[in-house]
Structure 1
Amino acid sequence: MTDAPSPQSETRWLKSYYTLRFLFSAAWAAGAFAVGGSGVPGIAAALLIAYPAWDALANYLDARRSGGFARNRPQAANAAISFATTVAVVLALGRSTDAVLAVFGIWAIVAGLLQLGAAVSRWKRSGAQWAMILSGAQSALAGGFFVVKAKAGGAPALEMIAGYASIGALYFFISAFWLFAGDRLRRHRHG
């Protein structure tokens, strides 16, 4: 078990972390929208595999930097689930885009609820978690929508997931901005 970081250290980490998550999600969504229905299945498949793989790595790093896995069970669980989702996406790609969308839907539900749990646990220590709470709830709702669309069949999976990633990018941007603005306001009051 790692010692708990100080509130200042955790806030510094979260500013960097949320900024990095924003940049990746925005770039991923832009790439996915660009590929969209262009008929380049290899690039689309790579993007679909990369998204949960990145999430697994990001949650792993967050748990480690925020006091370890025992202290950050939602992030640790999210890392494991995102890794398993990466494998499930690889398998689903061999079946259909509807299967891929269903995998993403189930993952979005579980990951969203875990993100919500992580944000609630950080609320007192780090503040600026309201956007992550909203993001977790929205992710769970979007996941349910993905599952319904996958059952109906024929949904444009990559474009739908790109829209989801775009909204996630916005939440990460808001969280980073809120933390940066809070630091600036505190420095202005005390300086």
Structure 2
Amino acid sequence: MLRDIRPLQKIPSQYWLRKYYFSRALFSLIWVAAAFSIGQHSSYLAAILLIIYPAWDALANYIDSTRSGGISKNRMQAFNIIVSIITTVSVIFTVRESMNQVIAVFGCWAILSGLLQLGAAVQRWKNSNAQWSMALSGGQSTIAGAFFIFQAQMPVPPSIINIAGYAAFGAFYFLVSAVSLFIILRKKNRVSVC
């Protein structure tokens, strides 16, 4: 009897993760659309979008960590919250200077948050499904961060579009995780009904 109950005890966290991943994907898709539509035509709106992106990441990680056992149990996310807050403040100061400095800040953030996301995915792997795409996302974020730092050294200034491509890949991975969890939970529900 205990064997039948234990897998179902993990389902609420799986439902939360599915909802969380869908909301992260939706936010990123809206952000990318805003970057391509209004962000590249207005430096003021581009600056706001560039500040919002890491701030949202800090907030999203905070909400997820509190819903997934608390910050003390999710240390990777706790560090990610701190890194994202520092990034937000750094973008506020560098966005006035040059886009090269902004993309360098995003590069450092992408490397650190990518490694932390990879660590969080590995930590969750035992209890949660669909973490392979989060691990891939973390790895790709790290590589993208190194590329951003390289771009920051170029004489031609980068634009918000460079970061929008990165955000689009993030949206894709969150969507893959959400859909994977949706399929897994649907199968579990069918099995529990039978």
* TM-score, normalised relative to structure 2: 0.92
By how many angstroms is 1:156 displaced? 2.6
CA distance in 2, matches of 1:117, 1:18: 17
**Corresponding position of 2:25:** 22
**Cα RMSD for the two superposed structures:** 1.1
Please, which of 123, 134, 151 is the counterpart of residue 125 of structure 2? 123
The answer to whether the aligner puts 1:49 opposite 2:48 as a matched pair is: no
Please, which of 90, 93, 101 is the counterpart of residue 91 of structure 1? 93
Instruction: Please give the secondary structure, in 1, of the residue aligned with 2:127.
Output: helix
Q: Deviations over 1:144-181 (max 9, x none)?
A: 00000001232433001000000000000000000000
Instruction: Please give the secondary structure, in 1, of the residue aligned with 2:73.
Output: coil
CA distance in 1, matches of 2:149, 2:80: 19
* Structure 2 alignment gaps of length 5 or more: 1-8
CA distance in 1, matches of 2:29, 2:11: 27
CA distance in 2, matches of 1:37, 1:12: 37
**Contact preservation (8 Å) 2:65, 2:77:** yes
Return structure 1 stretches of 4+ with deviation > 6 angstroms: none
* TM-score, normalised relative to structure 1: 0.94
The answer to whether the aligner puts 1:150 opposite 2:152 as a matched pair is: yes
**Corresponding position of 2:11:** 8
Letter in 1 for 2:16: W
**Corresponding position of 1:3:** none
* Structure 1 alignment gaps of length 5 or more: 1-5
The answer to whether the aligner puts 1:168 opposite 2:170 as a matched pair is: yes
CA distance in 1, matches of 2:54, 2:113: 10
**Corresponding position of 1:107:** 109
CA distance in 1, matches of 2:39, 2:49: 11
CA radius of gyration, larger in: 2
Letter in 1 for 2:122: V
Letter in 2 for 1:84: I
Q: Deviations over 1:28-71 (max 9, x none)?
A: 01100113432x11100000000000000001111111101111
The answer to whether the aligner puts 1:35 opposite 2:38 as a matched pair is: yes
**Contact preservation (8 Å) 1:56, 1:79:** yes
**Contact preservation (8 Å) 1:100, 1:157:** no
The answer to whether the aligner puts 1:178 opposite 2:180 as a matched pair is: yes
Instruction: Please give the secondary structure, in 1, of the residue aligned with 2:130.
Output: coil
By how many angstroms is 1:8 displaced? 1.5
**Contact preservation (8 Å) 1:131, 1:174:** yes
Taking only the aligned residue pairs, the percentage that are identical comes to 51
CA distance in 2, matches of 1:172, 1:155: 29
